[in-house]
Amino acid sequence: MLPTRILGKTGIPVTILGFGGVPVGDLYERLDEGRAIATVESAHRAGMTLFDTSPHYGNGLSELRFGAALRRFPRDSYVLSTKVGRHMNPRMPGSSVGGPGFAGGVPHASIVDYSYDGTMRSFEQSLLRLGLDRIDILLLHDVDVWTHGPEMADQRFREAMEGSYKAVHELRSQGVIKAVGLGLNESDTTVRFVKAGDFDCVLLAGRYSLLQQDALDEFLPLAEKKGIGVILGGVYNSGILATGAKPGAHFNYVPASPEVMDKVARIERVCEAHDVPIAVAALQFALGAPTVASVILGGISPDEVERNMTAIKTEVPAALWSDLKAERLLPETVPVPA
């Protein structure tokens, strides 16, 4: 069995490893329907209880596949997270069926909408795709510079706080969701939201990893102070911490720079000295911060799920973290797994 942690002040227990639904939304490649559903099922059977998806992933395809898989299990046997900020229009097919980066998906147009009504519509559509009557965690999705650009960021922030924020809190008061939170790609934008409102949890992608710790100085201490549960995604920084410094490796969705390649190669050498794959070190490092309840990883096959389960259970010696700090590859003050 996987260990569980309580997600901040929510009281919700989640396994330290969860399953992320981006790949089963046909990210980068079209997946066989049966294999995609079997992958989600295998994550549940392996003992994961936290499942995260979004309407954005394949314009609803990830949610459809999550629903087909998870409805086969008792509803109380898993914690389901999805997001708001986009709803789908089936009568206006988009030119890109799943959005940038997605090879497939549902042929519906994705409409960015952080209004109250748009958020309620997004939530209702998610329930229909999932085939459920409640969702455990609902996150305001992609309200950041990364997604909308600097010229639109302030406007999207206002829209979300005036619309989506009110809607999700109303849903929580009705008992159809248990927790409200944020699903963002930037630690500074996350801090802005956390200071402006009341959030139970945050899913932060790509900003706290073995390679970069943007969230260390301000966001993580603030989350601890406010009792906000933290879920981390993107702990491999879009690939390089999974594969190592190999030709063609990507860092945060673009080809890695020579500086990043050099640093990762140095991290790899320390990991190799302790006979620990860099992917294992990267996964387990993310769980060292006291506010982090879970790390989510995606997968496109049951074999990948099995490899992730092996990685989370692999023993990592404390000396590895000490050596990374001694080589100045990690800050001296960064928390590491006990």
Cβ atoms of 70 and 135 closer than 8 Å? no
What tokens appear for 33 in the block?
A: 């329907």
Confidence of residue 254 (pLDDT cuts 50, 70, 90): confident
- What digits encode the pLDDT tens for the residues 177-187? 999 999 999 99
Residue 185 DSSP label: S
β-strand 50-52 against 17-20: which pairing, if any?
parallel
Domain boundaries, the chain: 4-326
Catalytic residue among 9, 26, 28, 57: 57
CATH number of 4-326: 3.20.20.100
Torsion of CA 267, 272, 333, 218, to 10 degrees: 50
Indicate the SS3 state at residue 164.
helix
Residue 144 DSSP label: S
Residue with tokens 């890695």: 256
Q: How many CB atoms lie within 10 A of CB 134?
A: 14
- Determine if residue 152 is left, alpha or beta; phi over 0 gives left, psi from -120 to 50 gives alpha, anything else beta: alpha
Q: How many CB atoms lie within 10 A of CB 254?
A: 9
**CA atoms of 324 and 266, how far apart (whole Å):** 9
Half-sphere exposure of 298 (CA within 13 A, CB side): 23
Catalytic residue among 26, 78, 83, 208: 83
Residue 52 a catalytic site member: yes
Catalytic residue among 9, 28, 32, 52: 52
User: Is the confidence at residue 120, as pLDDT, over 90?
Assistant: yes
Residue 263 a catalytic site member: no
Residue 133 a catalytic site member: no
C-beta pairs of 312-315 under 8 Å, 24+ apart in sequence:
312/2, 312/16, 312/17, 312/283, 312/284, 314/276, 314/277, 314/280, 314/284
Residue type, 206: G
**CA atoms of 25 and 98, how far apart (whole Å):** 8
User: Is the confidence at residue 99, as pLDDT, over 80?
Assistant: no
- What digits encode the pLDDT tens for the residues 200-232? 999 999 999 999 999 999 999 999 999 999 999
pLDDT score, position 18? 98
User: Is the confidence at residue 96, as pLDDT, over 60?
Assistant: no
Cβ-Cβ contacts under 8 Å for 81 (sequence gap 6 or more)? 50, 51, 52, 53, 135, 136, 137, 138, 139, 203, 231
User: Is the confidence at residue 98, as pLDDT, over 80?
Assistant: no
Measured CA angle at 62 (ends 57, 68), to 5 deg: 170
Burial 50-82 (b: 16+ CB within 10 A, else e): bbbbbbbbbbbbbbbbbbbbbeeeeeeebbbbb
pLDDT score, position 101? 81
Confidence of residue 331 (pLDDT cuts 50, 70, 90): very high
Percent of the chain whose pLDDT exceeds 90? 91
